[in-house]
Chains A and B, each alone.
Chain A
Amino acid sequence: MLNYVIRRLAVAIPTLLILIITCFILMKIAPGGPFTSERPLPPQVLANIEAKYGLDKPQWLQLVDYVKNIVLHFDFGPSFKFKDRDVNDIIAQGLPISLTYGFLSFVVAAVCGIALGVTAAIRHNTWIDYFAVSLGIAAQALPNFIMGPILILTFTLYLGWLPGGGWNGGQWPYLIMPVIALSTSFIGSISRLTRSSMLEVMNSNFIRTAKAKGLSTSTILWRHAMKPTMLPVISYLGPVFVYVLTGSVFVDLYFSTGGLGQSYVGSALNRDYSVLLGVTILYGSLTVIVNLLTDLAYAWFDPKIRF
């Protein structure tokens, strides 16, 4: 088990290295640079700036320096756009915010989605089932970015219950709308997945045997059906978790939360190379770790798997 974890983490290092190189190349191919602006800088000024950030060196050397600084000093470099801050600052400031509302959204989506799915499966082919299925499909079919303006219009302008945006250290009134907006579509997909997985399990031979033995419904459900039901759900939750952290740009844009999603998309558009690379590495590492955790969780739910 421990060996397995160590092996997986060791493989992650070359993965991340290739990730850095791929990103670096893609980034450099993109037209325009961090200092391309509406008013082109005079050549001398541009030369000074490029010298300051080491952009005058050959590309391969820039890459080597970049990796060296990360490995030796854990320094991801300065931001080219936001000159008062460096990448470490930006991540240190944005990540906790993204993690907070991302994790809450994840919990809300998982709890509501699984509850909805299980309820629908138990009451298979009743109006509760149909209602839950419709709700799930509607939630999943709505493009999640329209949730932003709808929520703000409703709760801020018409009802006046919630502040229209901002973070304020993550107080609950500021969290409600981002969490609703981010979790809705996943409540839909998780509930659909849970429902179909549970239906399958309930039809399987070992549950039929349990029923034939006269075990109570709740015992069957919690002691026997729950674990196998969760298997496909678990493997789905991993990517969802990464997504709520990486794909949350619309939450940051509409609710001014100051999370990492906006910095990330912004850095791609601003050609803020160092921020883009830094956050990509962060997201890449996160993906590796979450995948590992997913596999470990999978093993816990499925006794057939051994490392």
Chain B
Amino acid sequence: MKTPNLFVAGLLATTMMTAPALAANHPVTGEALADDQTFTYRVLDEHSSVDPQVVEDVTGSEIVRDLFEGLFNQDADGNLVPGVALSYEVNDAKDVFTFKLRDDAKWSNGDPVTAGDFVYGWQRLIDPELASPYSWFGELMSIENAAAILAGEKPVTDLGAVAIDDHTLEVKLTSSLPYFPLMTTHASTFPAPKSVIEAHGDDWTKPENIVSNGAYVLTEHLPNERSVRERNAMYWDNDNTIIEKVVALVINDENVALTRYLAGELDRTEVPAGQFPKLKTEHPDEAVSFPRLCSYYYTINLTDTTPEALKDQRVRQALSLAVDRDIIVDKVLAGGQTAAYTFTPEATAGFNIPAIDVASMTQAERDAKAKELMAEAGYTDGLDLELIYNTSESHKKVAVAISQMWKTKLGVNVELANQEWKVFLETRGNQDYQVARAGWCGDYNEASTFLDLMQTGSGYNDAKYSNAKVDELLGQAKTAADPQPLYTMVEEIIADEMPIIPIYHYAGVFMLDTDLGNWPVNNVEQNWYSKDLYKKAE
């Protein structure tokens, strides 16, 4: 980290003189490593918690993945690699999993990490007394008795996760779940240090108390300013960890963050909407963009509170056709996002994009078709609609651009209303809207993480879309040997009925310092681990 602070610069100079670091090379790539192995990155907001069972935000999960280690980790491409578990066995019915844990894993206080620590962590997760906002994840994992414990009907000790011995963990599920091990990379499934939690209570996550089993330990936390984690000497793979210190700086304003990045204070920051092309020209090696497993879309209210026009499928199709997605991704956002004609991103593992006519038409053809459909539906004189979005600079830009497209092409007058976040959620969740902005990021790398939202009863189905055929196909997909063709069929139905208007698929758009090695750009879920990174010598 380059810092203009003269004091710090002087301090660094003296340390270097008195204790010259040995010039090291990366064990695999052979690149020369920097003497100062500190990774500094920007976060938008203060994290909610570093308690693995309580954390609910992305920022916090990033920290928790460094501090704690679960059964499995992800590699740079998102594949499962052993963490505390070495391997697992599964029965034929795929509802009993047995994990074999490594015997050299230790907590930062030197205690061994045992299967019991996992059982304790998972019990905590669904314990009504802790009331974790992520306790539904325990239910989602389908562990035996989880639902009953959550409802307070059974004691936590009845949970279907048992420590057979210190290094064997057995999990009983209520139904067959072939991808269960994938879920163990999630922060809420990480182990918890019972003795420490019992000794310190709610204060156990404070830097002076916390004990963790990951590659790093939390050493400093100044809320709304920074949090610092440093190498954990007790970590089983400590010898292969290169980054010494990770600093997360809370910088609320993305433009200020970029300024500070350019001044050399940060190794990584987000690129503000629209600035990517310019930065790419000026800093070709630093500006990076890669696909993310997220969709940006407009959801249309289909309940009785909606205007008559939106109940007409042709109007919805026309609205979708008139959205020039290329302008949105190339000119408004300009950060490598891709135009979306389906809900599920193409980057999703195994997913085959259906052949949708709309995607292959030119925009002029789409506009002509849109006008035709509007005329057919009887709205030649235009239409008044209301579009809500939550307050944010980039949502605003997209909404303004789309409202202008609708106005000029279809004569649809759009009243824009930006709402404060919580008000927005309440309005959208109560179907008190006509068209609303929405976004969804996949929980795991499979199409159902998106398409399940289109199910009749889904709590996230803000359009209140309901189609028996879709429900049936998604039901079949749960047990099908190859669900991919079913997902493609669902997308085709959605493209026809248009309960939502897909707009674009997200991209991770970052400025990454060229010194920083091994950033997992291919991990679409962006689950990154500081222990896999390194700083190259300049």
A and B together in one complex? yes
Q: A: which residues have CB within 8 A of B? A: 30-33, 35-42, 44-45, 48-49, 51-53, 78, 81-86, 90, 93-94, 148-149, 152-153, 156-157, 160-167, 171, 173, 252-254, 256-259, 262-263, 266, 269-271
Q: How far is the CB of A36 from chain B (nearest CB, A)?
A: 5
Contact at A166–B51, with CB atoms within 8 Å?
no
Beyond A33-B422, A35-B133, A51-B131, 4 additional pairs, beta carbon < 8 A:
A31-B426, A84-B202, A163-B5, A257-B225
Within 8 Å CB of A252, what residues of B? 224
Central interface residue in A152, A165, A167, by most chain B CB within 10 Å: A165
Contact at B265–A164, with CB atoms within 8 Å?
yes
Residue of A nearest to B138 (CB): A45
B16 within 8 A of A: no
> Would you list 29 pairs from A and B whose C-beta atoms are within 8 A, ordered by A residue?
A33-B422, A36-B422, A36-B425, A37-B56, A39-B459, A44-B150, A45-B133, A48-B150, A52-B130, A81-B48, A82-B46, A84-B49, A93-B222, A148-B256, A149-B255, A149-B259, A164-B256, A164-B263, A165-B251, A166-B249, A254-B252, A256-B224, A256-B249, A256-B252, A257-B224, A258-B225, A258-B250, A262-B224, A269-B421
Contact at A152–B260, with CB atoms within 8 Å?
yes
| Majority SS at the chain B contact face | loop
Within 8 Å CB of A157, what residues of B? 259, 262-263
Asked, given contacts A84-B51, A165-B256, whether A41 binds B133 with beta carbons under 8 Å apart, the answer is yes
B38 within 8 A of A: no
Q: How far is the CB of B443 from chain A (nearest CB, A)?
A: 9
Within 8 Å CB of A258, what residues of B? 222-225, 250
B480 within 8 A of A: no
Within 8 Å CB of A84, what residues of B? 49-51, 54, 202, 205-206
Contact at B131–A153, with CB atoms within 8 Å?
no
Separation of A168 and B395 alpha carbons in the complex (Å): 34
Contact at A82–B49, with CB atoms within 8 Å?
yes
Separation of A161 and B5 alpha carbons in the complex (Å): 7
B253 within 8 A of A: yes
Within 8 Å CB of B422, what residues of A? 30-33, 36, 269-271
Within 8 Å CB of A32, what residues of B? 421-423, 425-426
B429 within 8 A of A: yes
Q: Name B130-156 residues within 8 Å CB distance of A.
A: 130-133, 135-136, 139, 147, 150-152
Q: Which of A33, A39, A52, A256 contacts B250 (CB 8 A)?
A: A256
Contact at B133–A156, with CB atoms within 8 Å?
no
Residue of B nearest to A260 (CB): B224
Q: How far is the CB of B92 from chain A (nearest CB, A)?
A: 31
Separation of A78 and B420 alpha carbons in the complex (Å): 24
Contact at A45–B135, with CB atoms within 8 Å?
yes
Q: How far is the CB of B135 from chain A (nearest CB, A)?
A: 5
B239 within 8 A of A: no
Q: Which of B7, B139, B429 contacts A40 (CB 8 A)?
A: B429
B129 within 8 A of A: yes
Q: How far is the CB of A91 from chain B (nearest CB, A)?
A: 11
Within 8 Å CB of B150, what residues of A? 44-45, 48
Within 8 Å CB of B206, what residues of A? 84
Central interface residue in B136, B150, B252, by most chain A CB within 10 Å: B252
Asked, given contacts A40-B460, A42-B139, A166-B225, whether A269 binds B260 with beta carbons under 8 Å apart, the answer is no
B226 within 8 A of A: yes
Q: How far is the CB of B223 from chain A (nearest CB, A)?
A: 6
Q: Mark B42-53, 1 if CB is under 8 A from A, else 0.
A: 000010111100
Within 8 Å CB of A149, what residues of B? 253, 255-256, 259
Residue of A nearest to B206 (CB): A84
Within 8 Å CB of B132, what residues of A? 45
Within 8 Å CB of B277, what residues of A? none
Q: How far is the CB of A280 from chain B (nearest CB, A)?
A: 18
Contact at A42–B459, with CB atoms within 8 Å?
yes
Within 8 Å CB of A165, what residues of B? 249, 251, 256, 260
B175 within 8 A of A: no
Central interface residue in B4, B46, B262, by most chain A CB within 10 Å: B4
Q: Mark B156-196, 1 if CB is under 8 A from A, else 0.
A: 00000000000000000000000000000000000000000
Within 8 Å CB of A152, what residues of B? 256, 259-260
Contact at A41–B136, with CB atoms within 8 Å?
yes
Contact at B253–A254, with CB atoms within 8 Å?
yes
Contact at A156–B4, with CB atoms within 8 Å?
yes
Q: Which of A31, A37, A41, A166 contacts B226 (CB 8 A)?
A: A166
B3 within 8 A of A: yes
Q: How far is the CB of A2 from chain B (nearest CB, A)?
A: 40
Which 4 A-B pairs rank lowest in CB-CB distance, beginning with the nearest?
A: A32-B422, A258-B225, A164-B260, A52-B131
Q: Which of B7, B56, B224 contacts A173 (CB 8 A)?
A: B7
Asked, given contacts A161-B4, A263-B224, A269-B421, whether A45 binds B136 with beta carbons under 8 Å apart, the answer is yes
Q: Mark B214-249, 1 if CB is under 8 A from A, else 0.
A: 000000001111100000000000000000000001
